[in-house]
Amino acid sequence: MRKTEDLNPYKIALEQLDEAAKKIDLDKNLHEKLKYPKRTLIVSIPIYMDDGTVRVFEGYRVQHSLERGPAKGGVRYHPDVTLDEVKALAMWMTWKCAVVNIPFGGAKGGVVCDPAAMTERELERLTRRYTSEIGIIIGPEKDIPAPDVNTNPKIMSWMMDTYSMNKGYSVPGVVTGKPLDIGGSKGRLHATGKGVAAVTEDILSQKGISVSGATAAIQGFGNVGSWTARFLYDKGCRITGITDISGGVFDPKGIDVPKLIEYTSGKKIPSLEGYPESEFEKNPEEANRRLIGSEVDVLIPAALESQITSRNAEMIKASVIVEAANGPTTPNASNILEKRGVTVIPDILANAGGVTVSYFEWVQDLQSNFWKEKDIDASLIDIMKTAFKDVSDISRSEKVDMRMAAYMLAVGRVAKAAKLRGLYP
């Protein structure tokens, strides 16, 4: 019987760090330090539910590294959130910020809850109490939260307001991904998708394939999946499959992405369910199986971790995988894909567009000076293309895959900062 794979994200993150450390011959003391989060805060979040009863939720904020600047990373609301997942996501944020060379360390937050089963007022109370509880370690110069899975600009407004109320003055720079009217940045909402589309175009062109006329399949249709689909569609790419938790939409002739976005966003809780213009597969497992095995040029996981594992890596027919989600491919699956000649653009490069524009938002907030959308988009593309080239160059010169190349670059940069600063005391 085949040994089942360990899907613990923190163990996976440590394994990835170990591999990169070996390759760059990382000093073993620095390696030891980078294995652990700098700070881990676990909070209880008691709130009144709308029926008058009190429920206590568990929340986390983990700061992995502050070597290169304040910690940065989103907050996710999901029933399956675990501390080990948040620790892994925080470490991945450290590497992501280093790959695109922005002056941040890595952090992540999470609350174990099911936002789909909560009212807006309950979500607001949860967000405000969570923000207040983690208020002792966040701040524009310390750690700056942002949206992630199931969190959005509205939730960022409540976080910004709560932190500001506790301080007694407005502190827009405490979170990014806010609405424009309270210090948000133009271009932030679509930034991750724009970056994913840019690196997809780059890797396809490296393989001699033009994005216009290429085919793609996308797992997930939240902020990242839907904007990625939109940008690729606008570049002429044919998207033949898109899934979410309700099922999947399939169309060999290409899905009309703007129409699909209009359909999903018209619902109270956005979902693909029942989309009438293309074939809708209502069994989510079957939809996912079909999507992963799609005959396409590019497969884009844009949902959660550990979606591509040793169980389904052999089924993949795409020649390129672009990881829009964080941690979607397990190390075992990565090995299988490498042997099969599938190119994987790793998460810490592919989805770094979001945190890049978060960095622009933070700078704009600190200076109270707001930029034009075209300048933001141009700077984002410039950063993504530079990072893509840096990683491809290492991949070529060191004869390693793109994930290892990205890790070598990122871990090397963080280790350099840690070495320069030295170990206190």
Interacting residues with ligand GLU (CB under 6 A): 72-74, 146, 148, 176, 326, 351, 354-355, 358
Query: Which residue out of 108, 178, 186, 194 is catalytically annotated?
Result: 108
Q: Which residue, 122 or 323, is less far from ligand GLU as judged by CB? A: 323
Q: Phi/psi at 56 (nearest 5 deg)?
A: -110, 120
Q: Which residue, 313 or 376, is less far from ligand GLU as judged by CB? A: 376
Burial class (CB in 10 A: 0-12, 13-18, 19+), 75: buried
Shortest Cβ 347–ligand GLU spacing (Å): 8
Angle (deg, nearest 10), helices 331-339 and 9-24: 50
The answer to whether 21 touches 405, Cβ cutoff 8 Å, is no
User: By Cβ distance, which residue is nearest to ligand GLU?
Assistant: 74
Shortest Cβ 252–ligand GLU spacing (Å): 32
Q: H-helix or E-strand containing 44?
A: strand 39-48
The rounded Cα 394 to chain-centroid distance in angstroms is 23
The answer to whether 196 touches 225, Cβ cutoff 8 Å, is no
Residue-wise DSSP of 294-307: ---SEEEE-S-SS-
- The Cα 88–Cα 99 span in angstroms is 17
The answer to whether 297 touches 214, Cβ cutoff 8 Å, is yes
Q: Which residue, 227 or 250, is less far from ligand GLU as judged by CB? A: 227
- Residue 108 known to be catalytic: yes
Coil, strand or helix at 180: helix
Q: Which residue, 184 or 247, is less far from ligand GLU as judged by CB? A: 184
Shortest Cβ 191–ligand GLU spacing (Å): 8
Q: Which residue, 21 or 99, is less far from ligand GLU as judged by CB? A: 99
Return the active site residues.
108
